[in-house]
Structure 1
Amino acid sequence: MSKVKDYMIRTMNSVAPDDNICKAIILMYRSEQSVLPVVDHQNQFVGTIYSNNILKNIIPESFGFLDSSRLFYEVNEAVENLKYVKDESVEKYMAHNRDAVTEDSEMKKVADIMLNNKESLLFVTNEKGFLRGFIERSNLLHYLLDEAQTEDSN
């Protein structure tokens, strides 16, 4: 049976609940991720911070179909709002979900969660809840390819 630990990515950035939004935005940008795990000071997984959670709090309306003058106003307003939000704690904007899989979970479980819940990324913990990495759809595809090649060789 294939396990998550065989396909997961072990290097990643994380933030703590008491880190500020500015740090989270910079880490998202540098790591090219729109979501980061939130861990306590012992590296225990406590939640997730999504870029959308931050955007929802700084953009007063959805952009939708706006004319260019309205879009310019919305962006300027978002910039102004971010000035107030950037120093607030991650905890205020994070999702306190515990949606993670353990490194010993079977890859079939990951496939089920990702495909049924439309998740593109899951965080991976050990049995005690300490963050170990993440797994995304490209890792799921690699697993499925390995399974297909195993079946072809039989």
Structure 2
Amino acid sequence: MSHVKEYMVRTMNSVTPDDSIRKAIILMYRSEQSVLPVVDHQNLFVGTIYSNNILKNIIPESFGFLDSSRLFYEVNEAVENLKYVKDEKVEKYMARNRDAVKENSDMKKIADIMLNNKESHLFVINDKGFLRGFIERSNLLHYLLDEAEDKRND
């Protein structure tokens, strides 16, 4: 049986509820991630901050098709709104108690979660709730490849 800890990524950035939205945006950009884990000062996983949560609060209209005449206006308004939001705390925009998976979970369970719930990214915690890493679909594909090659060699 394969476990999450065998396939997860252990290196990542995180923010605390007290960090600014500005810091979260910079870390998202630098790490090329649209979601970050939120941890307390002891690294206990408490939630997630999504780029979409920030965007929904600075773009006045819901996501969808914008005609080209409104696009310039929307971008300018988003910039103005971000001037006010950037110094607010992550805690205001984060999703609390977002489900995480345990590092000792069976990879078959993770495959089920990712494929049935259309999750592309899951954070990994230990038994005490401390953040250990994350797992994404590319890690799932690696697991599936290993399984396919193991079955071929049987």
> Normalization by structure 2: what TM-score?
0.98
**Distance apart, 1:58 and its partner CA:** 0.2
Instruction: State the one-letter code of the partner of 1:52.
Output: N
**Distance apart, 1:39 and its partner CA:** 0.1
CA distance in 2, matches of 1:31, 1:82: 20
**Distance apart, 1:153 and its partner CA:** 0.4
**Distance apart, 1:63 and its partner CA:** 5.1
Cα pair 1:53 1:93 within 8 Å, conserved: yes
**Distance apart, 1:62 and its partner CA:** 3.0
Greater alpha carbon shift after TM alignment, 123-132 vs 92-101: 92-101
Partner of 1:29: 29
CA distance in 2, matches of 1:82, 1:15: 19
CA distance in 2, matches of 1:47, 1:30: 20
CA distance in 2, matches of 1:92, 1:144: 38
Structure 1 residues 126-145: Cα deviation after superposition (integer angstroms, max 9, x where no partner): 00000000000000000000
Cα pair 1:7 1:135 within 8 Å, conserved: yes
Partner of 1:114: 114
Alignment partner of 1:75 is 2:60: no
Unaligned stretches of 5+ in structure 1?
none
CA distance in 2, matches of 1:65, 1:130: 40
Percent identical residues: 86
CA distance in 1, matches of 2:9, 2:132: 9
Q: Give the ranges of 4+ consecutive aligned residues of structure 1 lying more than 4 Å apart after TM superposition.
A: none
Cα pair 1:59 1:77 within 8 Å, conserved: yes
**Distance apart, 1:11 and its partner CA:** 0.1
Cα pair 1:63 1:71 within 8 Å, conserved: no
CA distance in 1, matches of 2:63, 2:95: 23
CA distance in 2, matches of 1:26, 1:10: 20
**Distance apart, 1:68 and its partner CA:** 2.1
Partner of 1:146: 146
Instruction: State the one-letter code of the partner of 1:113.
Output: I
**Distance apart, 1:85 and its partner CA:** 0.3
SS of 1:19's partner is coil
Partner of 1:54: 54
CA distance in 2, matches of 1:42, 1:126: 13
Instruction: Please tell me the root mean square deviation across aligned C-alpha atoms, in Å.
Output: 0.8
CA distance in 1, matches of 2:44, 2:140: 24
